[in-house]
Amino acid sequence: MLLTQRNLVRKRRDSGSCVPHNEMVVFAGDMNGHIGSSNVGYDGTHGGFGYGSRNADGSRILEFADGLNLVICNTLFMKQEAKLVTYVAGPVKSTVDYIMVRWRIKLRFVMSGLFQVRNVCQSINC
């Protein structure tokens, strides 16, 4: 069977959905899709600080994340363009590398104050 991107998303969704809800789930890597800067339709999954325009593969990434109650960490905070762009080919710039975690894990970080570290990082330009 030819493993297309659509089939790969289905396989990931099936493998992720069998993990118990009290276990940590992290998907990270080059997803080869552009989720864009808008979080319209995916405000629980997309934090609103993406880059560029959404394409069909980006929509599949968002559907995958939404279906497993994952949040795309890259989109939670405003960043400088140089730190947001993960793919450059001539004049084309995009973000294709994403880190996704379960909402429950994100909430643990927020409640513990770990996400407040971003303010320190912004002030020292890390």
How do residues 6-41 score in pLDDT, each as one tens digit? Answer: 555 565 555 555 677 677 778 888 888 899 999 999
CA gap 56, 16 in Å, rounded? 21
- Could you give the number of structural domains in the chain? 1
Task: Report pLDDT for 58.
Answer: 92
Of 13 and 122, which is predicted with more confidence?
13
- Local structure of 40: helix, strand or coil: coil
Q: Name the residue range of residue 19's domain.
A: 5-124
* CA atoms of 35 and 55, how far apart (whole Å): 7
C-beta of residue 106 within 8 angstroms of C-beta of residue 73: yes
- Taking the C-alpha atoms of residue 103 and residue 65, their distance in angstroms, rounded to an integer, is 10
How far apart (Å, rounded) are the C-alpha atoms in residues 5 and 16? 16
Mean pLDDT to the nearest integer, 73-95? 86
Strands 97-102 and 87-89, by their bridges, are unpaired
Regarding pTM above 0.85, the answer is no
